[in-house]
A = this chain, B = another copy of it.
């Protein structure tokens, strides 16, 4: 063996990371294998030594992205109001204008619905893990009520982000955030983060 065993794994990780950025920015169909390999600093030919197909890469990318978000949420539980904190971080201009990091659902969920049932099954498993972690920071008494609220909150957040990115009017985009904050949070917590506050508490990656 003339390469250390972790060498190929590191390259594979770079490809998944590159795909994570491009798929979330441009969508699945909008991103070519060539572009992903180029983003990873590689040439296109090597792709199939790492993945069976572009679709297989998408599923691995989704699992990783959702897993990373779940992990960052779990760590936010340490905050004194993790539910409000999560919503404020989700519904902000930084998240809207940089889809390459952040939640993969707004830009990819619709394309997932057109994949084969098997592929959608892998996505479903990753989504369940994510949901379990959102549920864990949900206020509420019974686990079933918290799961219910986690599902509804995630639906609302991803729908709002999708709309906010689609409209051309920045004011309407902010109004979408504001309306959803009011719907999800008690009145006194629904203030948007000021740029100053956002700078003091930068988003961990």
In the bound complex, residues from chain B placing their C-beta under 8 Å from that of A176 are 151, 155
Q: A148-B182, A163-B105, A180-B155 are in contact. Are A169 and B124 (CB under 8 A)?
A: yes
Q: Say yes or no for A92: interface residue by CB 8 A criterion.
A: no
**DSSP class of A's interface residues: helix, strand, loop or mixed?**
helix
Are A29 and B26 in touch, CB under 8 angstroms?
A: no
Are B165 and A162 in touch, CB under 8 angstroms?
A: no
Q: Say yes or no for A54: interface residue by CB 8 A criterion.
A: no
Are B183 and A110 in touch, CB under 8 angstroms?
A: no
Taking Cβ atoms with an 8 Å cutoff, the residues of A that contact B are: 26-27, 29-30, 105-114, 117-118, 120-121, 123-124, 127-128, 147-149, 151-160, 162-163, 165-169, 172, 175-176, 178-180, 182-184
Q: Other than the known A149-B179, A156-B183, what 16 A-B pairs have Cβ atoms closer than 8 Å?
A: A27-B29, A30-B114, A105-B162, A109-B163, A112-B166, A120-B166, A121-B168, A127-B163, A148-B183, A149-B183, A151-B180, A152-B160, A152-B180, A152-B182, A154-B159, A156-B159
